[in-house]
Amino acid sequence: MKKHIVGNVSWIGYLDWELKHFHGEDYTIEHGSSQNAYLVQEEKTVLIDTVWIPHRFDFIENLEAEIDLSSIDYIVAHHGECDHSGALAALMERIPNVPIYCTANAVKSLEGQYGKRNWNFHIVKSGDTLDVGNGKQLIFIEMPMMHWPDSLASFLTGDNVLFSMDAFGQHFAVEELFNDRANQPLLHYEALKYYVNILNPYAQNVKRKLAELDKLQLPIAYIAPSHGVVWRDNPLQIVADYALWSDAYQEDMVCVCYATMWNGTKMLAHAIADEIARVSPQTNVVVHNIETDDKNDVMVDVFRSKALALGSPTVVNDILSGASGWLTFLKSLKFKNKRAAAFGCYGWSGEGTQILQERLRDAGFTVSDNALRVNWNPQESDYAEIPAFVADLLEIDTTTPLQEQEKPTMQKYVCDVCGFIYDPELGDPDGGIEPGTTFEDIPEDWVCPVCGVGKDMFSLYEE
């Protein structure tokens, strides 16, 4: 059943109440989700996106109950990921000649997943338009790395609907569809959780794309993302939230996270939290066992925090495997402007805290040299070290470290978005950059050969 949004625009997606995990097991879903597809029925009928592969036949049956499939004039594929394109192959068997409007990267994605089926692709770029009749157009806006290189948005003039793809979405099932009909605190949390765990790795790109949208001065009345609610009540509130979140966001909050074997490190975590609350009562403190608490929820708290205290015991000359995997995920989220300190118990060798410090630095945190390293279970003398440990954590200078010094002329640079490393010795011959060209000498219009972002999205690579 389609749901009316405005004018001749309807939702025709799938409410997935039973979905519990997403992106494999990497994202936990607690309140259902939706795969949003939309119909625009003006003089031309446009289908915007589809649904996940397991629901493809339900989707097509529902779609066919609403319209004659042969009446579809155009399909817009904003993103090739299978939760949005999963019904496309089955649908195209029914209407094989319908043109599909998408980015060049989406063609690669769709053909890579479903094979080269000679679909009628029409490649679009930012500023391209598609007339849908009755004086209305779809204006296309490329949205690379929000959150895939192939991402695209479109704006329907007249009804002023921004179909924003993954941007501004949530994994949140709302039968009533609209943001003003949802549980407001829960909606805000799910939008934040979605941003932190899916879009924050591309925060710099988000900032840049928000600035581009602002310059377009689109009269946005509705924001229709690919997951979750349609924003109709003050729709720009979520845009304002993204502007805050993408700008090295933090609150007066400290997150104490730990993994533990026999509760020694757990005892340290609780004592550290107590000391933070004692010396800085205005600061919110949260404590998480990272091996038992949901990692996506924990990451929301780390994102909100100005500092992280992380603990693990030493195990086989390393840290607990749960802590190691958690740190891998933490690094992938690319948090900025946050402090950290390490703590943990050990019985014999005691490398754990040093490994934590190294991994936290590798994840982009400013890490205190003052680790709390306790032999066996903590004793009174160990607890006596906690005030200094906390004071050091809370008083670390939060200004950007002075890193803009003389750079070696052949220094490597890494793409903040996709991780591609530019090596001056190799250059980028396919992009017209000869071997031996320093990063500073690359033309300003050069783009990353992997994801297509500009030079301003690269940082100095430290080996």
Strands 136-142 and 152-156, bridge-based pairing = antiparallel
Q: Note if 383 is an active site residue.
A: no
Q: Give the residue ranges of DSSP H helices in 79-170.
A: 82-85, 88-94, 104-114
Is 367 within 8 Å of 342 (Cβ atoms)? yes
The position carrying tokens 């946050």 is 338
Active-site annotation holder among 227, 288, 351, 382:
227
Catalytic residue among 16, 142, 150, 166: 166
Annotated catalytic residue: which of 4, 21, 23, 270? 23
Catalytic residue from among 16, 81, 150, 190: 81
227 included as an active-site residue: yes
Question: Is 147 in the active site?
Answer: yes
- 23 is a catalytic site residue: yes
Q: Any catalytic annotation for residue 79?
A: yes
Residue 229 amino acid letter: V
Produce one character per residue of 184-209: b if its CB has 16 or more CB atoms within 10 Å, e if not. Answer: eeebbbbbbbbbbbbbbbbbbbbbbb
The structure tokens listed for 8 are 């001749």
Q: Which two tokens stand for residue 330?
A: 């933490």
Catalytic site includes residue 83: yes
Q: Exactly one of 55, 78, 79, 171 is catalytic; which is it?
A: 79
Q: Which residues contact 228 (CB under 8 A, 6 or more apart)?
A: 33, 34, 36, 169, 170, 171, 172, 174, 187, 190, 191, 194
Has 101 been annotated as catalytic? no
Q: Which two tokens stand for residue 218?
A: 């689109």
* d(C-alpha 100, C-alpha 117), whole Å: 12
Among 194, 222, 242, 422, which one carries the catalytic annotation? 194
Which entry of 147, 242, 275, 413 is annotated as an active-site residue? 147
Per DSSP, the three-state class of 141 is strand
Q: Cα–Cα distance between 251 and 99 in angstroms, integer?
A: 47
Residues facing residue 33 across a β-bridge: 16
Question: In angstroms, rounded to a whole number, what is the distance separating the alpha carbons of residues 184 and 21?
Answer: 23
Does 78 qualify as catalytic in the annotation?
no
Select which of 16, 42, 49, 83 is catalytic.
Answer: 83
Q: Which of 152, 178, 221, 142 is nearest to 11 (CA)?
A: 178
C-beta separation of 222 from 237 below 8 A: no
User: The dihedral of CA 375, 378, 379, 382: what is its sign?
Assistant: positive
What positions carry a catalytic annotation? 23, 79, 81, 83, 147, 166, 194, 227
